[in-house]
């Protein structure tokens, strides 16, 4: 077979530990033999981030703004232990946080559904995609521990003019805690737009939920901005595609989701999305079966697996032991990026290849060959448990069988 050519590159961000091991295997076995892979490579492994004072992360983010499509391997976010383990110059910030800040995007997380790995909620037969607003709220809050009696108030001081506005938050008669958080219309609007665009692109209904009945100014602002965007810019295209936008209170949404059959996009505020995406992913089976894509308002796409670097498996690997680490989400990060590149470059063979790779990956599991994490939860009575290499080889065999189709 003649290798598939690529017109423009994908930004490739290499990473750490077990996922770095899988990354190389996936490229060597499943991509390079079939594609003349063009990537703009950045090594975001912790050692190289340290060597470059984390400049490499910023460079990778700017390259993403330039080339529009990126794929990222999981990376270590250093804590005190990692500073010692790697002898780091400092405790660098999360690369994902840095990239998100540069791209200003929304994170969409979607489970990969295969037969034999049934969701814990029996009605769900289509994936539920979570769109998490990745800016502000408690992730950028200010908090005070109140030691004793006293009043807390909130004051807005305009940069120009001297019209102060203040509200009393609470008068404490005894010790307690207080929290102040914010968001901006601009960020909320970009979040809304990415959600409406993604719903249109994937032809799915969009749900959005907050607690606006209780938070009559804060959460209500989110609700109003979503409504404005829908009415002014998206209603006609939604109607044309036969999909709908639906707002409801978060508690009502949760009750409805549990009884739904899935197959929609669920937009959530930052904290809600953080918490609920972990629940939804584990209810669909495994964190290793969840893809994640960061979509920026300027039309850039960064694909990755939703899980981390699988540190525990890596330490076994370093000792020469065999691991059974699931590479599905990392494979789907690559296919997501290849499909988007194919769409931008009008490269039909590349699109077909990525779709075939996804199909044979799912087929491998449906045929009963899988890694340990899935073997523990499958409804298949006799799964064959493969190690990390064997699983990729099992996918490759099926790919080889069908590669001439494209």
Task: Enumerate binding residues for ligand NAP (CB under 6 A).
Answer: 74-77, 96, 287-288, 304, 307-312, 325-326, 373
CA–CA separation, 131 and 108 (whole Å)? 4
For residue 77, the partner it binds in ligand NAP, Mg ion, none, with Cβ less than 5 to 8 A by kind, is ligand NAP
The secondary structure element, H or E, covering residue 302 is: strand 301-305
Residue 274, contacted partner among ligand NAP, Mg ion, none, CB below 5-8 A by kind: Mg ion
CA distance 338 to 357: 11
How many whole angstroms from its chain centre is CA 174?
42
Shortest distance (Å) from residue 192 CB to ligand NAP:
24
Contacts 24+ apart (CB under 8 A), 216-222: 218/183, 219/269, 221/183, 221/185, 221/188, 222/183, 222/188, 222/269
Pick what 30 binds: Mg ion, ligand NAP, none; C-beta below 5 to 8 Å, kind-dependent.
Answer: none
Residue 262: CB atoms within 10 Å? 20
The least CB distance from residue 298 to ligand NAP, in Å, is: 22
- Using alpha carbons, select from 44, 26, 48, 45 the residue that is nearest to residue 35: 26
Provide, rounded to whole angstroms, the least separation between the CB of residue 171 and ligand NAP. 41
Alpha carbons 186 and 269: distance in angstroms, whole number: 14
Closer CB to ligand NAP, residue 77 or residue 363? 77
Contact 186, 193 (CB under 8 A): no
How near is the Cβ of 169 to ligand NAP at its closest, in Å? 34
Q: Which is nearer to ligand NAP, 253 or 370 (CB)?
A: 370
* Smaller CB separation from ligand NAP, 88 or 200: 88
What's the CA angle centered on 118, arms 278 and 194, to 5 degrees?
45
Smallest separation, CB 99 to Mg ion (Å): 17
Nearer to Mg ion, 278 or 390 (CB): 278
Q: Which is nearer to ligand NAP, 76 or 199 (CB)?
A: 76
Taking residue 368's Cβ as centre, other Cβ atoms within 10 Å add up to: 15
Q: Closer CB to ligand NAP, residue 149 or residue 312?
A: 312
The DSSP line for 215-230 is: STTHHHHHHHHHHHHI
How many CB atoms within 10 Å of residue 81? 8
Q: Out of Mg ion, ligand NAP, none, which partner does residue 25 contact, by CB within 5 to 8 A per kind? A: none
Q: What percent of the residues of the chain are helix, what percent strand, and what percent coil, each to the nearest 5?
A: 45, 20, 35
Select the binding partner of residue 76 from Mg ion, ligand NAP, none (C-beta < 5 to 8 A, by kind).
Answer: ligand NAP
Which residue is nearest to Mg ion, using beta carbons? 274
For ligand NAP, the closer of residues 90 and 312 by Cβ is 312
Shortest spacing between CB 119 and Mg ion, in angstroms: 19
**Measured from the CB of residue 108, what is the shortest distance to Mg ion in angstroms?**
15
Q: What are the two backbone dihedrals, phi and then psi, of residue 18, each rounded to the nearest 5 degrees? A: -65, -35
State the binding string over 252-291 for Mg ion (x if CB under 5 A, else -).
Answer: ----------------------x---x-------------
Residue 137 in the binding site for Mg ion (CB under 5 A)? no
> Residue 373: which of Mg ion, ligand NAP, none does it interact with, CB under 5 to 8 A by kind?
ligand NAP
User: Which residue, 90 or 149, is less far from ligand NAP as judged by CB?
Assistant: 90
How far is it, in rounded angstroms, from Cα 351 to Cα 244? 28
Q: Residue numbers of the site for Mg ion (CB under 5 A)?
A: 274, 278
């Amino acid at each position: 077979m003649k290798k598939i050519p690529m017109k423009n590159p994908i930004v490739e961000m290499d990473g750490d530990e077990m996922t770095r091991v899988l990354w190389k295997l996936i490229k060597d076995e499943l991509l390079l033999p079939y594609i003349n892979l063009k990537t703009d490579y950045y090594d975001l492994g912790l050692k190289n981030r340290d060597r470059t004072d984390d400049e490499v992360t910023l460079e990778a983010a700017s390259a993403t703004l330039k080339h529009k499509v990126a794929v990222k391997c999981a990376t270590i976010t250093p804590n005190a232990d990692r500073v010692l383990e790697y002898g780091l110059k400092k405790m660098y910030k999360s690369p994902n946080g840095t990239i998100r800040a540069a791209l200003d995007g929304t994170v969409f997380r979607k489970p990969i559904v295969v037969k034999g790995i049934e969701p814990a909620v029996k009605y769900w037969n289509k994936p539920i995609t979570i769109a998490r607003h990745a800016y502000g709220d408690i992730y950028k809050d200010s908090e005070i521990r109140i030691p004793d009696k006293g009043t807390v108030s909130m004051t807005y001081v305009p940069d120009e003019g001297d019209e102060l506005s203040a509200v009393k938050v609470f008068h404490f008669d005894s010790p307690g805690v207080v929290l102040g958080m914010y968001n901006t219309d601009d960020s909320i609007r970009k979040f809304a737009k990415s959600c409406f665009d993604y719903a249109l692109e994937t032809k799915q209904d969009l749900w959005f939920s907050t607690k606006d009945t209780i938070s009559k100014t804060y959460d209500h602002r989110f609700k109003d901005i979503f409504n404005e965007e829908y009415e002014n810019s998206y209603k006609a295209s939604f109607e044309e595609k036969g999909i709908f936008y639906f707002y409801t209170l978060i508690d009502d949404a949760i009750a409805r989701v549990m009884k739904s059959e899935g197959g929609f996009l669920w937009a959530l505020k930052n904290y809600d999305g953080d918490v609920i995406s972990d629940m939804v992913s584990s209810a669909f089976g495994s964190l290793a079966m969840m893809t994640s894509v960061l979509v920026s308002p300027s039309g850039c796409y960064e694909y990755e697996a939703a899980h981390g670097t699988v540190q525990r498996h890596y330490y076994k690997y370093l000792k020469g032991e065999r691991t059974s680490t699931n590479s599905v989400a990392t494979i789907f990060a690559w296919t997501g990026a290849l499909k988007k590149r194919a769409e931008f470059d009008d490269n039909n063979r590349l699109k077909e290849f990525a779709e075939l790779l996804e199909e044979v990956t799912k087929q491998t599991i449906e045929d009963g060959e899988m890694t340990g994490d899935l073997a523990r939860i499958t409804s298949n009575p006799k799964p064959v448990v493969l190690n990390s290499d064997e699983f990729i080889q099992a996918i490759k065999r099926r790919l080889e069988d069908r590669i001439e189709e494209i």
